[in-house]
Structure formats: structure tokens, C-alpha cells
Structure 1
Amino acid sequence: MLISVHGMKKDEEHGGSNPYQCSDKTSVLQEARVFNETPVNVKRSTHVLTKILYLLNQGETLGTKEATDVFFAMTKLFQSNDIILRRLVYLGIKELCSVAEDTIIVTSSLTKDMTGREDQYRASAIRALCRITDASMLQAVERYMKQAMVDRTSGVSSAALVSCRHIAQHSPDVVKRWVAEVQEAVHSDNVMVQYHGLGMLYQIRKSDKLAVTKMVSKLISSGMRSPYAICLLIRIVAKLIAEEESSAGERSHLMEFLESMLRHKSEMVVYEAANAVVALSAATTTTTTTTTSRDLVTAISVLQLFLSSPKPTLRFAAVRTLGKVAMTQPAAVTACNLDLENLLQDVNRSIATLAITTLLKTGSEGSIDRLMRSIAAFLNDISDEFKIVVVEALRSLALQYPRKQALLMGQLADMLRNEGGLAYKEAIASTIITIIEDNPDAKEKGLDHLCEFIEDCEHTTLAVRILHLLGKEGPRTSRPARYIRFIYNRVILENAAVRAAAVSVLARFGAQCPDLLPNILVLLQRCMLDTEDEVRDRSTYYHAVLSTRDPAIIARCILNPPMYSLSSLERALLSYLSSDTTKAFDASCVPAAPPPAASASLSSAASSITAAISGPEDVTSAVPALQQEKRSVSMHDKYAERLAAIPAFAGLGPLFKSSAPVELTESETEYVVRCVKHTFLGHIILQFDCTNTLNDQLLEDVSVVVEEDGSNWQILQTLPCASLPYSCPGTCYVLLAIPEDIMSTTGTFTACLKFQVRDCDPITGEPETEDGYGDDYTLEDIEISVSDHVSAAQRSNFAAAWEELGPGSELEDTFALTSLSSLAEAVTQVTNFLGMQPCDRSEKVPDGKNSHTLYLAGTYRGGQSVLVRAKLALSDGVAMQLTVRSTDPAVSEVIASAVG
């Protein structure tokens, strides 16, 4: 007995167990047979129906036949007048009506309950009835719905109004006839009915701006009693102000209403008004100002009062809203800093976290030291999710105050050594990396912190990421030798993935630091005895490459290995094996892998894991980018397979590059045409994707005729589209031979869509005539530029690649980009025009700088490597000194002359 009592007491402490947790769909459906018993077994039916609803809400799905059987069995429970069972039946109808068939059978029963005298049935019956009612049935229940909306029972009226919101989604015209009843509900004495009524009235009138404005003016003048309705009215008013379609006088009147709501007796209304004013202020920072500084100060003062409220919900709402203001206007929140600091000790850690992040956004440079001391004690009491929020705030603070980066980095290093999960540690590491990239002076200190961390790092992906960073940045520091110990410790102490990555990093140090090369060779020789074959293979490969001491070979095999598109490489190898293999395989025709998406903080865990497998920079380093380039590669393969399947294009060789689609017509014209340019070694295919938007025309024998002013380009073949029905896309092709003169490989073509028109029935689409008539449609000009002959290429070490090419094919010229007004704009324009990939994070222009150097890498059609160094300076526009190096002097000349 004592054991039993103890067990019961223990269950009570844990809140009891879930009696439906082990419910099985098959057994529950068998138990549903109890619904067919006569008389109705109320207790068992209630239990079984609860099980069914529990399973449905847990994500369990019923087949159409299962749902129909349960639905029809459940309708027999209408025989019982038990209130609990009847309300469960209503819930069951709502859950099953979208799956079961012939649910209309319960309409009469629901209508009877809806119009009956039992108020506890009526509201639920209305909700269930509106779920099974379609447009054809609305007329039968329209009269009842109108009566329900103005019913004396508030629950019935609210249920009808909410149900009308759902009906309006598929039958808006019917609901518009109920405006009189909805307006009566808006003036109800019940707070919820008034709220639901206003929501319904706005739903009906929201497409008519004038009607909404009149409605708002009337409600502002008459006043509303429901705080819920007033909150909704505030949101509608804020939307009208944000749309800026009202006159200045109307906007002033609406802003006066918001300002008056800041003094409302309901805290909910006051917060909603303050939040609306703050949101409008944030939205108008880049547009015409509709809120004044006085309005914002008043709203922030109200939120400041909420910060000291005894109610946690108000404190949380206030600090969250102030945090949003701090992102755009931190100076406006400075007055609340003292109250925010008091919240750091709040028992609700969500509030404390928001307070510290807001302080980090609004604090001055002088307050950072004090905030760091608060954070140190604060972090021990919050979860990793909240810690990540704090880390992100520290990242913003570090970028805002560069002189405090050393202090912030020290705080981050302490956080890195404390307990935490992978996501938390990744966030800290990414923040340190961001600081390193933003401030070169902080590089060595940041690397030291990361090296100390990997000594005790338990996360393979994070250790590999840090090793990868060491391989990129370590050799460029003043004392690279001090990092060798940390790297080689990973070879001794870590798992196979980390050991393999460490070997690749050692090779990069050996490739870039000649003084360390003899020691690196000794360490790599020791790694050849590793138990893991991947580690042995890497160390053997890198040892052999470094032993040559040939800078060109080292740069080619370690610093900037070839990065091919793996799918294209596989296709080229299969093609080579099926043909004459007496000649060596030429990899120059294989397109390079698309550059991975920019990620300065190396935050992709997937790429980190793959880097552990294939090494940071070895011959197969296209693998880490597979997930990031998945979409691009699949599109390239899709185009390649599609073109190879056309006999006229089968002998063109591998596809080098495909451009982004270029619109040749406006989107709303009768014929929509866009062009994709496919570049091969000696040819370009123009692919025209055409769509006929006229439902009374059938286009046949559709082709695109292109012409060029000069005679350098030769149009070899035109492939028409046989038929182009309404709204069914079709494709035409034009094959061009690229001129042999490399300086003549750009040009502009005029284009015209030619076709035969047959009039057809707009409904059936069947042609009404047997013979058509010829017609044409002028398209926009097509431009083939230098970027169509260049694909972006990855160069992890631009300096090494630049030296490898040498000055033999170097060309240099100076240009004045007078149409550009900023360095960032110049970087974007030059990069897009040349079609190359920025290297060494040179696409980022530091704030406040008047000069910048952009490094670009690419591969010219045929496999020639191209590197560009563009020195940019602000001077009546942007002045640019362009230097080009390539493996082919002619390619350098093409790139340099293209800019001019």
C-alpha cells in the first residue's frame, strides 16, 4: 500500500502520463464501431472520439475510405444530447470534412443545431457547418448566418463572424451582401463580437481604399469599447499611413489617433499604438517621413515605462520592440539604457537576453567594458539559443567599434572555452572570423584564440573549419611557424577526418613558407605512417609535390588546384573513353566548377564536413562546393543533355557556359520571348523560349531570325518550333559560328519572331481555319559580350596564381568610369561585365575608403586562365587601373579592350 501511494504521488509530481500516447490508428478505427451501438454509449464513444482527434492532431492521416467510414459512423452520435460528446462530434466533422466523401449529409443536423435553443450547440454547429459548405450551398444557410451574426448570444455571433472570414475566401461576393449585419456587430457591446465584426468588415472592404479610409474615419470619431478591436483598428491605421496614399491632412489625422492611443487605459492598446509608431518610424527611414521625432520619443517613453512593469508580458513586449528600434535608430533608445541594464537580472531569462542584445546595439564605446562584465555573469544562466543571440549582437558591436575588437575578441574566446553545443561554438567561431576579416590587425590574435580552442575542440566540423582558416591565413602572418605545433597536434590526437585536413593545411604552409619547407617535409613523411589510408595518400601526394620545389607545380597542385565541374568532368571522361584514346585527355574543354556562394564566416556545416573528406585545397576540391553549386551544376547538366539530344548540336563538344535568361519582350505583351546563350568551344547557340499569351491564336512554324551588322559572325542553322499553342512554351534555336579572329567575338544582333498564325476558338483551342497567314514580331537586340566567353573561376590564393602566370602576357590600361558614383557600384559593374569571380574577399569595399583593389579570376573559352587586378579610386566618378594576365596574350588583349 505504501508503494502504491508513493507511486501515485510520483505520478502527480510529474503531471501524470498521457493516456492516449500509445494509441494505434488501426485499433482506434476498430474501436470506432462503438458509434453504431444503440442506444449510444456516451462514455465509450467520448473516449474513442477523443483518441481519433488526438491522432489527427499528432499528424496521423486517414485514407479517404477510412475517413468516410468514421465520418458516417460519427454522425450517428447526433442521437445523444450529451454536451461533451456533441462538441467532440463538431470537432470531428471539422477535422474529417476535407478528407471524407459526401460530408454534405450532416448539413441538416448541423442546421438544426445552429437554429436550436441550446446555445452550447449553436456556436460549434456554425463553425462545423461553414467548413462543409461550398458556394452552391450558401444560399440555403445565408438567412441563418445573417441571424447568427446579430444574435444576442455573443459566442454565437462571434462564431458566425469568424466563419464568414473563412467563407469569404471562396465566396467573397456572397459575404459582401452581409455588410449590414457585420456593421451592426461592429457596434456590439461585447468586446469579442466587436473585434470579430471589425475584422470581417475590413476583410470585405480592404480592396477599396476609399471605403477603408471612410470606415476608419468613422470609427475614430465614434470610438470603440473593445480593446481588441482598437488594436485591430490601430493596425489598419498604420497600414494606411505606410501606404502613403492619403493626403497630408489625413495622415496627420491618423497620426493624431495613434498618438492619442498612447494614453489609452488599456495596456494592450497602448503597446499596440507604440509598436505601430515605432514600426512606421523604422519603415520611413529611407522614404518620405510620415512620423515625427516627437511621435517616436513619445512611443519610446511609453515603452520605457513598460520596462519597469510588474507584468513579464509587458516587459518582454517592450524590450523586444526597443530592440527592433535599436537596429535602425540606436540613438533613440539610449534614454532607456539604465532601465535595460536593470532587466539584466530579470528572472525571465528571455527578457534578460533581449535586454543585453538591445544594450549591445545602443551602448556607447565607453560602456562596452561594463557590458562585458555583465555578460560574463549573465551567460551562465541562459540556454545556447539565447547565447547565440548574444554572440550575434557582439558581432555587430565589433564591426561598429573597431577599437574595442580586442576586448570583444577576448570575451568571445572565454565564451568559446566554456561549455556549449556545436551551434553556439560555431556562432562564436564565425564571429571571430568576421573580426579577423574586418580588421587585419586582429588576425594574429584571432588565430591564436582559435588555435587554443581546437586543442580541446570536440566537434569535428568546427575543428576542420578552423584548420581550413589556418591554412588560408596562417602563412600570411608575421610568424607562421608558431601555428605548426597546433596543426601537427591534430595529426597526433584527432580522428581521421581532422588528421586528413591537418595534412592538407601543413602542405599549404610548406607551399607558401620556404623557410618552413624542410620541417614540413619531415612532418609529412611521418604522416605517411598513419593508420588511415586517406591521411597516408594525402601526405604522400603533398610530399611528392613539395619535394619538387618547383613554384609552378606547387601553385598548380596545392595553392590553386583545378576545380572542375564534377558532372561535366565525368561526361567528358566517358566521351573520351568511348573515342580514340591514343591522344591524351584534354581537360581544358571541361568547364570549371561554379564558385560557391559567398560565405565570409564559413558558416556552412556541409562544406566543412566535405572539406574534412577532400581537404581544403586539393585536386578534388570541387567536392566541398557540391551542395552550394548543386542548383547551378544541375542547370548546366540539364542544358548540356538537352542540347546534346538535338542531332544538329551533337558534334559541338562539351558545353562551356550558359548565360542567365535575357528577356527580349515585356512580360505583359502578346508574345513573351527570352534568350539563353550557350557557349561552346567554337559555337554559340541562341535558345529562344517563346510563350503565346493569346488564347485565340495558334502559332505554327515559329522561328527567330537574327542578323548582325558586320560579316564576322556566320549563322549556320535555325531550328524552328513547329507549333506554339496558347500558354504552352516552345523553343527555337539559332546556331552561330564564333569568328576565328578573337578580337571579333563580340557583337549585337537584331532579332525578329517569324510565324504563321491560325485563328482558333478561345475555349477549346481548336483552329477555326485550315490556312494561316504569316506575321512577325520585333524583339529586343541580342548582345554577345566578353562575359559570354568567360566563366567565373575559384582562386583561393590570388597572389600565387598571379605570380604563376607571370608578366609575359600582362596588359595594363587606365579607364574613367564617370557614370559610377561609388566604389561598391564599380566593383559590382566590373565583376558582372567581365563575368569573373572576385577573389580574396575583394568584392567587399571597406566603409569610408576612397580606393580599393578588386581581384578577379576566370577561365576563357578554350580553357585559358585569366586574372584581373583592378585598382579603383574615387575621382569625379571612379578611376580604374586595369591589369590583365592570362595564359594567352590574345585573351589578355580581349579582356582589356572589352572594358575600353
Structure 2
Amino acid sequence: MAYYNTGKRGEKKDDESAGNRYANPDRSVALQKARIFNDTPINVSKCIPVATEILYMLNQGEQLTAKEATNFFFAITKLFQSPNPTLRRLVFLGIKELCSVAEDVLIVTSSLMKDMTGKEESFRAPAIRALCRIVDPSMLQSIERYMKQAIVDKSPSVASAALYSSLQLARGPGIEIVKRWGNEIQEATNSDNPMVQYHALGLLYLIRKSDRSAVNKLIAKFTTGRYLKSPLAVCLLIQIVAKIIQEESTLGITTASHFDFLETCLRHKNEMVVYEGAHALVNLRHSTGRDLGPAISVLQLFCSSAKPTIRYTAVRTLSQVAMTHPAAVTACNMDLENLITDSNRSIATLAITTLLKTGNESNVDRLMKQITSFMSDISDEFKVVVVQAVKALCLKFPKKHSLMMTYLATMLREEGGYEFKKALVDTLITIVEDNVDAKETGLTHLCEFIEDCEHVNLAVRILALLGREGPKTRHPSKYIRYIYNRVILENASVRAAAVTAMAKFGAFNEELRPNIMVLLKRCMMDQDDEVRDRATYYFYVLDSHQAALYNQFILTPLQVSIVSLERALQTYLTTPAEEPFDLRSVPIAAEPLTVEEKRPRSEAREERAQTGAGGGGAKDSAKATTLLDSYVEQFKNIPQIAALGPLFKSSAPIQLTESETEYVVTCIKHTFAQDIVFQFDCINTLNDQILENVFVNVESQDPAFVINGTIHCPKLECNVKGTTYTRICLPKDDSGATGTFGCTLKFLVKDCDPATGEVDSEEGYEDEYVLEDIEVTLADHMQRTIVPNFGSAWEEFGEENENTGTYALNQYKKLQDAVDNFVTFFGMQPLDRTEKVPDDKNSHLLVMSGVFRGNFNVLVRCKFILAENGVAMQLQVRSDDPDINQAIIESM
């Protein structure tokens, strides 16, 4: 928006010293001034600053009531009588700003159409934009002829305005009418004007994107020829091609010509196009097997560019690539080191953080010193980037934890916003949880931080960590003072968290229990009811002197899906029931695993550190929806599956075909109390066939497994996912809980027209396709759970509930390989970081906990010994049911 200066030449100095003349406007006064629009004749010199002031006020976020907006709208439309170009442009801006609030805005349509079809070129383009903002779908046909003409207008500004306005219309209910303008839009892509060509390509893709064949033709036309002269249009085409590559990769389709086009763009004469091509290549999720060398080479050349913007984009992209492919970026280390002294601190920061991700253990000290020298000169946003890089480095070089933690603790004491402090706390928590040697040092740093922490969320998180990790340290008593200080000095939320942390110290350490009970008794007089209730609850649990109660009600967190628990409680309250609510009916979830995070906790934590994602905050928990919850919601609409009872566990998808085959099938195993349901997700990649009555014929050689029902998929069109289900009754004897199932995809084939999808004949023929076998393993019957005090829980079961076995694992030559395999095999939660084997050890103890199908608690101890001919293992299993013990032993 241009500001109109009504001051005289002699007043210029005063105006400049006064600053922005439109800042802090008074809404009522500004709207009163709008009465000047009614004067006849129109005083242009007075109307322009009044209109500018009100539009500036709206642009700053000021909200008008419907009445105020309507009054101002009708006032400003009277300025159509003036031919002044500046005043008319302000009128167009005012119409666009007010059309969504004011009433009866359609009254100005005739004036806009007059300007749209007039001879004054400076009026036509903004009139088109304003008109398309106020018309509704029913009026589009009346302006269709004018829009078609405007799209192919010789004036670039008019054509661009028409294309952009059509783009906005096509995103709403007007898309069907805009599709009829395809010939004109196609013609506009041949324009010599860069902006017209860019807008035409964007609109053409939008109206065709639902038709895969049409999009492929669009891509083929513009990637093989030399139609596009606009760098902006080429960049848009790169983004379209990259999106198509990702979509086709999920369907198992690989198009080499698309990759060839992206690599061709790396040799374009325009730097923007070259960067967009490199950016697309390194960010394709499904191109990990593709050689990143050409794209990395281009980014390496950009690092030595004389333009700061080019250097910044190159380093920023290399930093992102280093998260997933650090080896590919190593070749750029020399160029990145040259950028450490760059005058632009943002570039220098990104260069150092990238080096931290790709560097080796020998240069860590030098890099950390260089970071310290300019941390005070950069914004919090880049400080967070540095901290995330340090987190990844800590996971990569655990022996350097002392240096890293000192550096992080120093930054904790410096000034900074919430996001910066949160990133620091996240990093320290990650180090404490993943590195045993760094635990006490990290907890001490965090204790010192909460003495002056002004962020409640961070204080609560640190107190939760202290309650979880502090009791396991060599000198747990030294943390009590820091925790109890929070009870004295902080608000109610922090005090409640401190009470819980103290209770865990009392439950875990017998010698501290009397002192903790004294402190809890003091907290029972707190002003806040939440603090009082917690203190009272924990005091009487500790006063029971029963280890089982300590484990169940203090140390062990609630290990169910919160979303499912809420849903189950709502159902219980709204449905008459004589029996009490049973918590065992709620699916178990030791921690929320999102759809993207279906993996062991340690692995997920490491990946979050590499990608720079913070973990564990309240915001993250609020957004986390487990896979189990999504499946439960899905099965509510399938009566045959909903009748099987609560869902116990769902597996990760298993590929039953190669990704390049004509039929792509994946299987998800859903475990219930007495059944397993196989969910087969099928995709037909042939565009000349439609499959009907699709199902998977499942067979088992073990008669104990009974195939008991199949839900067919009625129709499977090309590249549209369909789902079929098969139910399998499990043997009543848990010892037969594992088996192998043969699978064959069966269907009725009907040939169809590849272009329209219309079936050639209603008569089809039956066909089948052999799939890979499915294995039901012990892990399919086991859910992960967390037991904070394994030793106490192990003793609680007693030797009478134990089964043992000894095994020779000659196929493994390393302890870590054996441990990794058995963590996967059992499907249980490794405790106390025993899934990691020290490099210098010849023996290792792996302890795990879980819940077997039917809600039976299970604990396992695996003692591994490295011998000359492989690995030997002694297995001990304790559970609620001896049959479960035997089933686990026999599954070996």
C-alpha cells in the first residue's frame, strides 16, 4: 500500500521527525473523517490520506463491526466518481478489505465491471481482483466471458490479475466454471511475461491435479520442451514434479524422467531455479537411494557465492540434509569452515551447526569454542538451531558429554526466551536419559536451573525427570533440597509436581522414606487442594510399608492410551452398567506413539534429536494421537471387528509384495483377546483394470488356528487404496501363539478404459495373485510397558512364577546384535537402558517388561555371554500366569 504525503515541502523535516503519521490511529475518529467522501466535488487531496489511514488501520489488525464496515464501504464506493488513479486504487483496496465483513457489497459489481472492461489499463487489473473477491458462484457465469478475455489480454498486468483471481475462485466452489477456461489458461502459459506464465501454470495445475493422467501430460509437455521462460514458473514446475515423485513412490512407481528433469534444472542459468532443483532433490522423502552428489555439489558452489542470500540458502539446506545424510555433506566441510567467520551471523551459525552434525570427535572442542564466541550476537531462533545440533552431537559422541553439558549449562544461565530455554532443557534431559555417565552431572545442572526458572512448564518437566532418575543415582538425598525448595517458593502447579517427585524418592529409597514422609506431612497443609490431595495420597501409600503398592501407585505411570481412556469413560458414564469400570478394557500405551513414530523409544528419541524436534512437552502430548486410537476409531464402524472386544495391539505395516508389482499389498496385524485380524491394504496400479470382490485367502497348516471370516473389498480402482480383513481365532493354549500363514489375493477382473475408467463389459474373470507369507510372532501378543523399579517388581513375582531356558546363539558374533534381535523378538520394553551394550563388555544383562495378550504382566531377564563360537543366553521369565512363561520359552 502506498502512503500519500499531503504535507508541504517546508514541513518535510517535521514529518520525518514525527515518524509514521498513521501509527496508533483512533478508530472512531478515523471513521468520522470518512464523511469527507460524501463531499461534492470530491476533494482528492483530503480523501487520499483519510482512506489511507483507515486501510492502514485495517491492515494492522483492527476489526470493524458489520455496521461500521458497511458504512465505510458505501462511503468509499462514492469515490468511483473520481478519475484520480491513486484514489481509485485505494477504493479497490478498500473493497477487498471490507467485502468479507460489510453487507450488500454486490451493489458495487456494475462499477467494477465497468472498470474491468474500460480503456484505463491501470484500473482494469485491480478491478478484476476486487470483483472476484465479492462475486459468488451463481454470478460467475455472468462474468465468464470477460474473464476469458482478460486471461489472454495483451497487457501482462491484466492477464496476471485475471489468472490470480481465477486461482482464488478455483480453490472454492467455482472450480467447475474455471475448468471451462482451460483453453485460455493453456494459451496464457505461452506468454513472454514471467508473472503471467507463472500464474497460468499454477492455475492449470490446480484445475488438473485431481486427474493423474492430465498432470502427467502437463509435466511431460513442460519438462521435455522449452515452453517455460519464467524462472518462477520453472520453480513451480519443480515443486509439482517433486510432489508427483513422492506420491508415486508411495505407490511403488518410479519415474526416471522426473528425476532427470530435476537434475537438468541444476544446470539452469537462473540461480533461483538451480537452488529449487537442488532443494527438491535433497528433500524427496522416498529418494534416499538416489545419488545426492549433483545436488550437494551445487550447494557447495553456492557456499562461495558473493551474495549473502545465496550463501544462506545453501548452508541452510546443507544443514537440513546433514540431519539425515551427514556423510553426503562431509565433502562440503572445508567450505563450511570458511563460512564460520562470515560477517552474516546467521550464515556463520548454520555453518557451525552443520559442521557439528558432520564433524568428527577430534574437532568438537574447536567448534564449541567458536560457537561460544558469537552466541550472544545471534537471535534465539538460531540459538535453538545450535542447541539442536549440540543434541545430535551428544548422541553421536557420548564420551564428549562433559564438554557439551558445561556449554549447555552456561547457556542456561544466560538470557533467552522460552523456546531457547526449552531446547536447552530438552537436550539436557536427552543426555541424562541416554548416557549413564552423564546422569548426575546433568541432574545437578537442571537443579540449579530450576532455582531461578521462570517457566512453569520447564520446572514441571525437570521435577518429573528428577523423580524418575534421581532415586537411581549414587547420592539421591542431595536432590531433595532442590525439590522441596519448589514446594516453598513456587506456584501450585510446580508444588504439585515437586510433591510427586519427592514421593518417588520415598518409594524407591528405603533410607529416605521417613524423611520424605515428614516433608509430605508438611505439604498436607498446603493452600492448594491438588497439592494437599497428592501429599495425602502419597503419604498413606508410603505409610503402608508395602513394596507392591509403591510400585503400582507411585513409581509406575498410567500406561494406557489417554484418548482411549477418555472415550471409554464417556461410554461407561452414558451406558447403564452394573459392573464397575474395568481399566483393562482400555488399550495399553506406555507412551504416545504417533503415526510417524511407531518404533522403540530409544530409537525414536535419537531420531528426534537428529531432526531437531523437541520432545515431551505438554504441547507435544496434547497433539499425540496413538496408532491404536486411530485403529479403535476405524473398527467402530466395522461391526464384525468391533464385536471382538478391546484392541490389544496393532503391528507396523508389512509389505507382502514388491513395490513395483501391479498389485501392492501391505498387512497390519491387529491382536485382540482371542483373535487376530489381518488388515490387507491393497492398491491396483493397472489403469486398464478394475478389481471387484477383492479379498485375501489366508491358510494355515496349524489346525489350532481357525480362519473365521473375511470382509471383502467391493471394488479396487486404479491407485485407490482398498481394504479387506481376515479374522483368525487364536488357539486357547497360549503355547501355540505363533505360526505362519499363506496368503493369496483373489479378485474379479473387469477391463476398463484407461482414460475414463469406464468398464468395457460387466462380465469379468476371476484371477489371483500369490502374496508373501505372514508370520505371527511372540511380539504380536506383547505390549511394551515401563517398570521404573525392575528389581522390586521381579522379587514381587517370586521364584515360584519363573521359567528358565539356556540357548546357544551361534549366529551372532556380537552381543549388541543379539540384544537388538531379542528386543524385537519379544516386543517388550527394555529397561534401564540395557538395550545398549558397552563396547568393552563380554557379558550383558538385558531386562524387559511387557503385558501379554489378556493383560498378563511379564518380566524377562536375558543374560548374554560372548564365547568363541557365538553368543550364549540364559533366559528367565516371570509373569502372572505359568502358561505365559511356558509360551515364551517354547517360542524360542
Q: Distance in 1 between matches of 2:288 and 2:752?
A: 51
In structure 1, the partner of 2:675 is 684
- Equivalent residues of 1:698, 1:759 under 8 A apart: no
- Tell me, yes or no, if structure 1 residue 20 matches structure 2 residue 61: no
Q: How does 1:616-695 map to 2 (within 5 A)?
A: 628-636=624-632, 639=635, 641=636, 654-657=646-649, 676-680=669-673, 683-684=674-675, 686=677
After the TM superposition, which of the residue ranges 441-450 and 590-599 deviates more from structure 2?
Answer: 590-599
Q: Distance in 2 between matches of 1:367 and 1:284?
A: 33
Q: 1:842 to 1:751 in 2, by over 3 A?
A: same
In structure 2, the partner of 1:51 is 94
- Tell me, yes or no, if structure 1 residue 92 matches structure 2 residue 130: yes
Q: Distance in 1 between matches of 2:354 and 2:742?
A: 57
The SS at the match of 2:482 is: helix
Q: Distance in 1 between matches of 2:825 and 2:13?
A: 78
In structure 2, the partner of 1:163 is 200
Q: Distance in 2 between matches of 1:178 and 1:689?
A: 34
The SS at the match of 1:515 is: coil
What amino acid does structure 2 have at the position aligned with 1:20? L
- Equivalent residues of 2:696, 2:724 under 8 A apart: no
What amino acid does structure 2 have at the position aligned with 1:885? R
In structure 2, the partner of 1:542 is 538
Q: How does 1:260-659 map to 2 (within 5 A)?
A: 300=300, 305-306=304-305, 309=306, 311-317=307-313, 319-320=315-316, 323=319, 327-328=326-327, 332-336=331-335, 339-343=338-342, 346=343, 348-358=344-354, 360-361=356-357, 372=368, 374-560=370-556, 563-565=559-561, 566-567=565-566, 570=569, 578-579=577-578, 591-597=587-593, 598=601, 600=605, 608-609=617-618, 628-636=624-632, 639=635, 641=636, 654-657=646-649
Q: Distance in 2 between matches of 1:726 and 1:270?
A: 42
What amino acid does structure 2 have at the position aligned with 1:49? F
- Equivalent residues of 2:303, 2:314 under 8 A apart: yes
Q: Distance in 2 between matches of 1:795 and 1:418?
A: 37
Q: Distance in 1 between matches of 2:833 and 2:443?
A: 18
The SS at the match of 1:456 is: coil
In structure 2, the partner of 1:724 is 714
In structure 2, the partner of 1:617 is none
- Equivalent residues of 2:589, 2:785 under 8 A apart: yes
In structure 2, the partner of 1:222 is none
Q: Distance in 1 between matches of 2:655 and 2:280?
A: 41
After the TM superposition, which of the residue ranges 779-788 and 73-82 deviates more from structure 2?
Answer: 779-788
In structure 1, the partner of 2:782 is 790
| Correspondent of 2:796 among 800, 804, 829 | 804
Coordinate RMSD, CA, aligned: 5.8
Q: Distance in 2 between matches of 1:279 and 1:703?
A: 38
The SS at the match of 1:796 is: coil
1:377 Cα deviation (Å)?
A: 4.9
Q: Distance in 2 between matches of 1:173 and 1:428?
A: 46
Q: Distance in 2 between matches of 1:675 and 1:453?
A: 46
The SS at the match of 2:800 is: helix
Q: 1:684 to 1:568 in 2, by over 3 A?
A: farther
In structure 2, the partner of 1:214 is none
TM-score of the aligned structures, taking structure 2 as reference length:
0.71
Q: Distance in 2 between matches of 1:278 and 1:141?
A: 26
| Correspondent of 1:240 among 256, 260, 265 | 260
- Equivalent residues of 1:470, 1:505 under 8 A apart: yes
1:537 Cα deviation (Å)?
A: 2.0
| Correspondent of 1:82 among 96, 120, 123 | 120
Q: 1:177 to 1:136 in 2, by over 3 A?
A: farther
Q: Distance in 1 between matches of 2:243 and 2:477?
A: 69
1:499 Cα deviation (Å)?
A: 1.3
Q: 1:508 to 1:61 in 2, by over 3 A?
A: same
What amino acid does structure 2 have at the position aligned with 1:865? N
Q: Distance in 2 between matches of 1:287 and 1:166?
A: 33
Q: Distance in 2 between matches of 1:371 and 1:332?
A: 17
- Tell me, yes or no, if structure 1 residue 883 matches structure 2 residue 873: no
The SS at the match of 1:724 is: strand
The SS at the match of 2:139 is: coil
Q: Distance in 2 between matches of 1:283 and 1:759?
A: 34
Alignment length (residue pairs): 797
Q: Distance in 2 between matches of 1:73 and 1:271?
A: 41
1:852 Cα deviation (Å)?
A: 5.5
After the TM superposition, which of the residue ranges 833-842 and 703-712 deviates more from structure 2?
Answer: 703-712
Q: Distance in 1 between matches of 2:746 and 2:237?
A: 52
Q: How does 1:110-189 map to 2 (within 5 A)?
A: 111=149, 136-137=180-181, 149=191, 155=193, 159=196, 163=200, 166-167=203-204, 170=207
What amino acid does structure 2 have at the position aligned with 1:724? P
In structure 2, the partner of 1:619 is none
| Correspondent of 1:892 among 863, 885, 888 | 885
In structure 2, the partner of 1:42 is 83
Q: Distance in 2 between matches of 1:888 and 1:562?
A: 22
What amino acid does structure 2 have at the position aligned with 1:428? L
Q: Deviations over 1:441-471 (max 9, x none)?
A: 2221211111111111111111111111111
Structure 1 unaligned residues grouped into runs of 5+: 187-192, 210-235, 244-253, 611-623
The SS at the match of 1:514 is: coil
What amino acid does structure 1 have at the position aligned with 2:19? E
Q: Distance in 2 between matches of 1:853 and 1:545?
A: 32
Q: 1:206 to 1:674 in 2, by over 3 A?
A: closer
Q: Deviations over 1:829-881 (max 9, x none)?
A: 43343332333344556789887654322112333211123345777776544
- Equivalent residues of 2:303, 2:311 under 8 A apart: no
In structure 1, the partner of 2:248 is none
What amino acid does structure 2 have at the position aligned with 1:107? R
1:340 Cα deviation (Å)?
A: 3.4
The SS at the match of 2:875 is: strand
In structure 2, the partner of 1:227 is none
Q: How does 1:704-719 map to 2 (within 5 A)?
A: 708-713=700-705, 718=709
What amino acid does structure 2 have at the position aligned with 1:862? G
What amino acid does structure 2 have at the position aligned with 1:42? P
Q: 1:764 to 1:472 in 2, by over 3 A?
A: same
The sequence identity of aligned pairs, in percent, is 34
Q: How does 1:689-838 map to 2 (within 5 A)?
A: 699=693, 708-713=700-705, 718=709, 724=714, 734=727, 736=729, 738-748=730-740, 783-815=775-807, 827=819, 829-838=821-830
1:763 Cα deviation (Å)?
A: 8.1
Q: 1:743 to 1:94 in 2, by over 3 A?
A: same
TM-score of the aligned structures, taking structure 1 as reference length:
0.71
Q: 1:438 to 1:241 in 2, by over 3 A?
A: farther
What amino acid does structure 1 have at the position aligned with 2:204? I
Q: 1:532 to 1:606 in 2, by over 3 A?
A: farther
The SS at the match of 2:527 is: coil
Q: 1:862 to 1:768 in 2, by over 3 A?
A: closer
1:12 Cα deviation (Å)?
A: 2.8
What amino acid does structure 2 have at the position aligned with 1:240? D
- Equivalent residues of 1:467, 1:487 under 8 A apart: yes
